[in-house]
Chain A
Amino acid sequence: MDRNGRARHAPPRVCIAVLLFGICTAFARSADFELPPLNSPPSTETHPGKMLWADLVTPDLTAAERFYGGLFGWTFQSVRGGRFDYALALLDGRPVAGLVQKPLGSGEHRQPAWLTFLAASDIDSVKRVAVSHGAKVLADTKLYPMRGRQCVLSDPEGAVFALLASSSGDSPDYLPENGEWIWSSLHAMDAGSEAAFYQNLFGYDVFDLPSDDGLEHLILSTDNYARASANDLARGSAHRHSHWLNFVRVENAAATTAKVLALGGRILVEPRMDRHGGMVAVVADPAGAPFGLMEWTASDTKEEPR
């Protein structure tokens, strides 16, 4: 203590000041993180089981932005994400995807991937049904006020997907533009069992399409629109695991795969004919995250009475 009795009280004051500063900084930083709504203006529609969104997890956000910006013309808007950097990908000003940078330890045998978000307006009920049918909860339900409530699950075969109860309603059923997600396919050890699992969640109609390869290829639909396919894993894969794969609509699959290579990506499935002459390809970005490319012309779809 000095003659004025100040020394004894100085350290606690400093500590309190530092503490208050720290608390304010921490909460201010965390409160900053907000994901924008899917739909502006909001939609009143609900489409259970529709793919609404996709998030990429990558160790290098800058490289990912360079790649996807160069490939699809996406632009990016930074969102402060607390522990991780998050970028919102936009196409003509509309949000199309999210990119999250997460460190990947040198000893970790994991690879970057796109996470598929499926619409579930009653997320608690859908999650409960999923768990009762063998799903595991990887990240429990969390609220992002403008985006909605979301959780991450793995299905009975281990394919990872997310549920999203959008605060702004489900995206209306439009034909996606080039550069937007157009399709999702599930690749599984037993497509039939997996289709049954997702049917329990979303009430999908399941159509078994004829195939030449002896494998099961199923179309999952709601509202009389195809939402996704469930496919037995290809026999040509030696090391296989169940996964979701999302496709971006492109004008020319061959030209886009050439661009993928020029931007440092890889081709996993060369451009090839799919149903009725439509071209598809599967590629990976420079960090290894796989995704699909799908050509679609306006005449490929015709609205039918619903």
Chain B
Amino acid sequence: MNIARRLSASGLGVMLLTLLYACALTGVEGSVGYDAGYYEPYGYDYGGWGLGYRVGPSRCCEGRDEHRDDRRDDRGDRGDRGRGGRAPAYRPAPAGRSAPSIPGRSRRH
């Protein structure tokens, strides 16, 4: 009888301990643990960039990239002359502005 009671008490203790430990580590309190690690789907291609595939910012200053604003009509409204003959889903930057570059100020100065 005593052995049975001891075993059940110990079992209960272990269960409670496990539960509390799991709660603490999974963030029941709201600010513990870290869960920002996300694996991406597997088996996808990265790359395959053809000629003219440019991803970087504009660089100063000669030949600065002019903003293509052929999606506005003469009244300044967005027209339907964008790629594929459809208006862009985004609001284009104002006409006449060239794309800005990244900050150039050095941290050391």
Our pick among B6, B13, B24, B32 for the contact of A19 (Cβ within 8 Å) is: B13
Whether A259 is near chain B, meaning CB under 8 Å from some CB there, is no
Check if B54 sits within 8 Å of A274, measured CB to CB: yes
- Interface presence of B76 (CB below 8 A): no
The answer for the CA separation of A284 and B47 in the assembled complex, in Å, is: 11
A18 x B17 contact (CB < 8 A)? yes
CA A55 – CA B37 in complex, angstroms?
A: 7
Which residues of chain B come closer than 8 Å to A268, judged between CB atoms? 46-47
B83 at the interface (CB under 8 A from A): yes
B30 with A241: CB separation less than 8 A: no
Among the listed A25, A162, A211, which residue makes an inter-chain contact with B52, where contact means beta carbons less than 8 Å apart? Answer: A211
Interface presence of A206 (CB below 8 A): yes
* 6 interchain pairs, CB-CB under 8 A: A81-B34, A82-B34, A213-B50, A221-B93, A225-B100, A236-B49
Residues of chain A whose beta carbon lies under 8 Å from any beta carbon of chain B: 7-8, 11-12, 14-15, 18-19, 22-23, 25-27, 29-31, 33, 35, 55, 57, 81-84, 86, 100, 102, 104, 108-113, 115, 138-139, 142-145, 150, 152, 160, 162, 173-175, 177, 182-183, 185, 187, 190, 192-193, 195-196, 199, 205-213, 215-219, 221, 224-226, 229, 231, 234-241, 243, 245, 247, 268-269, 272, 274-278, 280, 282, 284, 290, 292, 294, 296, 298-304
Query: With A212-B52, A236-B49, A303-B104 given, can you name 14 additional A-B contacts, CB distance below 8 Å?
Result: A14-B10, A18-B17, A27-B24, A108-B42, A112-B40, A150-B36, A175-B102, A192-B83, A213-B52, A231-B55, A238-B45, A269-B46, A278-B59, A303-B105
